[in-house]
Amino acid sequence: MRQWWLLAWTIACFGMGILAGVVRLAHWPHATMLGLAVLLAAVLLLAFGWWSDMRQSRRRQRWQERRLKIVAIGGGTGLSTILRGLKEYQVELTAVVTVADDGGSSGRLRDDFAMPPPGDIRNCLVALADTEPLLERLLQFRFPAGQGLEGHSFGNLFLAAMTHIMGDFESAIRETSRVLAVRGKVLPAVREDVRLRAHLADGSVIEGESKIPEAGGRIELLELVPKDLEPLPDVLSAIASADAIVVGPGSLYTSVLPNLLVPGIADAIAGSSARKIYVCNVMTQRGETDDLSASSHVKAIYKHIGKPLFDYVLVNAAPLPEEALQQYQQQMSYPVRVDIEELNRLGLKVIARDFVHYATYARHDSRKIAEQIVSLLGYERDTRRE
């Protein structure tokens, strides 16, 4: 754009120089005609440049209007893994994050400053941020023992300070997103202080997100305390306009379900015309999903929200290395059994393929999951961000 304007103004100045006699042309009897012709050429060039700019602007506007919108719902490391892959595509991303954590650094800040727990929010912001590796390491840095800040992550403290400065948690997230050049939006599921309460099969009741897995019993019912919660209007708006809604992966009872139990969110998902995709966990989690198959994960969600919700389920069909299996067996954790026939009976379209990446832990491969999600929406590979 700037090149068009610069060239046109250069030619125009040359034409005006001819007319003013500043540019003298030896033995040229029609200098005035030449000057007018040069000025006309400059005007035509300016008009062409303006038309070209307007055309590109309209194309960009149409692209923005048709850019697909994806809402990802969950918490923990599972949600941030999905976001890392999806941000590489030209899609409009919104992450809806659980705020029921009450353990570790997040729990301490929650109690000390009467603010929502920042840990899962921080992970999502970092996953969507367009930052230098050093800044990412800084935000994820945890202070070692013996310094008064033991166990706190710098990113959590940053969000706590930003909440104090801005006056509320939502504004703190919004301003932090600007600082980190976040590609998308990160929204807490609710504003209120919310805690988890689990009713176990033996009749005991456990309250607190961090205590539920430690109880070790089979969870019959999960509920939010208090119950009279309201989702953020921005969350409902994002769900209503979404082309795809992705739920999971993540801890079934402490990361995924807390979002869906917020009054209004499950109904909004059910009423949306978006493609609804559940990403099932790779491994069972001791104290939460012991012995649960893929279909059992889905049934637990349906039982709690009272209705079917998903169109697709993504499950890992690749075996893990033997060393990984041995490592997880020591933690009483095993690969989630993929019972495709039962998933089909639930009315789900099953996509079973190699979705796993194993380094220190078995995680979903963010690139493969994102590629699969956008392919379900009809995107081609050339829509990937340059």
Mean pLDDT of the chain: 86
Residue pair 82/258 in contact by the 8 Å Cβ criterion = no
Least confident of 2-16, 56-70, 252-266, 301-315: 2-16
Least confident of 10-24, 207-221, 341-355: 10-24
pLDDT at 41: 64
Gap between the Cα atoms of 380 and 242, Å rounded: 19
pLDDT at 86: 95
pLDDT at 34: 57
Gap between the Cα atoms of 322 and 204, Å rounded: 37
Gap between the Cα atoms of 374 and 295, Å rounded: 23
Query: pTM higher than 0.75, yes or no?
Result: yes
Least confident of 16-20, 142-146, 255-259: 16-20
pLDDT per residue over 81-121, tens digit each? 999 999 999 899 999 999 999 988 898 899 888 899 999 99
Place of tokens 């049934």: 299
The verdict on whether omega for the bond into residue 226 sits within 30 degrees of 0, i.e. cis, is yes
Cα dist from 124 to 47, 78, 205, whole Å = 46, 10, 31
Cα dist from 172 to 169, 188, 192, whole Å = 5, 11, 15
